[in-house]
Amino acid sequence: MPIRHLALLLLVALLAGPAAAQQAPQAQQDRADPAWLTADQVRTVLRARGYTELGGLTREGDSYKVTDAIRYGEKVPMLRIDALTGQPREMPPLTEGQARGLLQERGYTSVEELGREGDLIRLRARQGDTPVELRVNALTGALVR
């Protein structure tokens, strides 16, 4: 009798194996990848890149969607954020107004726009009592003196 039960259990295990294997990919799809950033981590990355007043942050597959955001003082269109890196999938270059806001956030005063040279935005400002001319890379936000 015990051999008969063992044989029956083995048969059930063999038949259930393929069915369990077919369900495994679905279970993995439903579960979040452990490498994906949390919503709070995405907010932190975006704030470091000049985004504020983040609203409507929702997860969609391997991306986050942000429906409301302001970048360096200007409202931006909806953003799609990579869930692994927290970086926007498509990020338009900074506008002159955003470059001005970036400098003001970094303590510059009397900021005025002088124009563009390709991807560089030229600005004049004051750092304390010292007048300076700066360029901001519109693609990265990096300052160039």
pLDDT along the chain (145 residues), means of 10: 54 51 42 81 91 93 94 92 91 92 94 94 96 94 86
The pLDDT value given to residue 26: 37
pTM score > 0.85 for this model?
no
Cα–Cα distances (Å) from 106 to 22, 72, 86, 87, 124, in that order, read 54, 11, 23, 22, 14
Radius of gyration of the chain (CA): 26
Q: Look at the chain and report how many structural domains it folds into.
A: 2
Q: Which domain holds residue 126?
A: 96-144
- 129 and 104 co-located in one domain: yes
Half-sphere exposure of 73 (CA within 13 A, CB side): 12
Question: Are both 103 and 125 inside the same structural domain?
Answer: yes
Distance CA 42, CA 44 (A): 5
Distance CA 47, CA 60 (A): 20
Domain assignment present for residue 12? The answer is no
Is residue 90 in some structural domain? no
Rounded Cα–Cα distance for residues 9 and 76 (Å): 61
Instruction: Give domain status of residue 102, yes or no.
Output: yes
Nearest C-alpha neighbor of 50 from the set 145, 141, 121, 120: 141
* Residue 29 confidence (pLDDT): 38
Q: Tell me what pLDDT residue 11 has.
A: 47
Per the domain annotation, does 113 fall within a domain? yes
pLDDT at residue 16, as a whole number: 55
pLDDT at 80: 94
Query: Residue 91 falls within a domain, yes or no?
Result: no
Residue 7, domain member (yes or no): no
What Å distances lie between residue 29 and 17, 33, 37, 80, CA to CA? 19, 8, 16, 20
Q: What is the pLDDT of residue 44?
A: 93
14 is a domain residue: no
Residue 68 lies in a domain: yes
Per-residue model confidence (pLDDT) at position 27: 37
